[in-house]
Structure 1
C-alpha cells in the first residue's frame, strides 16, 4: 500500500471515531478510560454500565451515522454472564448498520467454552482482561494499531 493510501485509510478510520464501552465495573472503566486517553486520544469513549443503557443508546444512534461507534468493547459479566450473552445476541439481531459494528468481548474468563461461544455469536475478538494498568495500555496500543491503523472499516450503511 502506498504511503498516501495508508494515511487516507487511517484518517478515515479516525473520522468521528467513537467506541461504546459496556462495562459495569467502575474500577475497570477507570483503567480503560485512562489507557484510551493515553493510546487513543482521537477516539471518543462512551461508557454505559448496563445492557439496557447500551440498547437504549444504540437505538438512539440508529439513524444518526455520525453517532454510531466504530467499535464496541463489551464486558461479558454485566454483572452475570447471562446478561453479557443476551446483550451480544440482541446487538447482533439489531437492524443494519448497528448489527455490523465490530465487537470486542472483554472478560475475566479464560474458559475455552466461553471464548468459543463468543466467536460463535459473532464477536470480532475476545480479550481476557489484563491484570495491570501497564497491560491495559499495551492492549490499547495494539487495539489502535489494528482497528485504527491497519484494517479498513466499512462505511456505515443503512438499510431501510
Structure 2
C-alpha cells in the first residue's frame, strides 16, 4: 500500500472535522470564533458555555458518532477551576469513543500546579490564553499546524 500523500493526510484530518470549544466567557468566545474562522475555515466548531452542556453534547455524540469532534478545547475556569477539573475527569471517565478525543486545556493560569495537574489528568496540551487578537490568531494557526496538518488523528469509531 502506498504511503499517504500530504494532501490525502490533510484531507483525512479535515473529513468531518469538528472542534468542541468549552468556554464560558463570551468575550473570549468571540476572539476564539474569529480566530477559528480565519485559521481553520474548513473546521466546524461547536461551543459549550458550561460543563453540563459539554457533557450533554458529548453524550449525545456517542450515539451519533459521526458528530464527534476531533479535538476538544477546554477552558480551565468554566466558571471555576474546580468545575474545570471535574469536567476533565468526567470526560476521561466517559466511554472510549469520547475519552480518547484529544483534549487541549487553555487557561489564563500560568501556575505550574495547574499545568502539572492538567497533564496528570490526561490532557493532550496546556496553553496559556493570549492577551490580544493577533496572539489568538497565532495560537489557532499553530493549533492548525499541529493538530490538523501534522498529527494523524484517530478515525471516528462507529459502533455496529
The TM-score, its normalising length taken from structure 2, stands at 0.95
Say whether the 8 Å CA contact 1:105–1:127 is kept in structure 2: yes
Q: Trace 1:59-98 onto structure 2 (pairs within 5 A).
A: 59-98=59-98
Q: Trace 1:98-117 onto structure 2 (pairs within 5 A).
A: 98-117=98-117
Name the CA distance, whole Å, in 2 between partners of 1:135 and 1:3: 35
Say whether the 8 Å CA contact 1:40–1:144 is kept in structure 2: yes
Q: CA deviation at 1:154?
A: 1.0
Q: Which residue of 2 aligns with 1:28?
A: 28
Secondary structure of the residue that 2:105 maps to in structure 1?
strand
Q: CA deviation at 1:44?
A: 0.8
Q: Which residue of 2 aligns with 1:120?
A: 120
Name the CA distance, whole Å, in 1 between partners of 2:36 and 2:60: 24
Say whether the 8 Å CA contact 2:89–2:121 is kept in structure 1: yes
Say whether the 8 Å CA contact 2:66–2:156 is kept in structure 1: no
Q: 1:115 and 1:63, CA in 2 relative to 1: closer, same or farther beyond 3 A?
A: same
Q: CA deviation at 1:63?
A: 2.3
Name the CA distance, whole Å, in 2 between partners of 1:56 and 1:90: 11
Q: Trace 1:9-28 onto structure 2 (pairs within 5 A).
A: 9-28=9-28
Secondary structure of the residue that 1:42 maps to in structure 2?
coil
Deviates more, 1:4-13 or 1:92-101: 4-13
Q: Which residue of 2 aligns with 1:152?
A: 152
Name the CA distance, whole Å, in 2 between partners of 1:91 and 1:103: 9
Name the CA distance, whole Å, in 2 between partners of 1:113 and 1:22: 21
What is the root-mean-square deviation in Å for CA atoms of aligned residues? 1.5
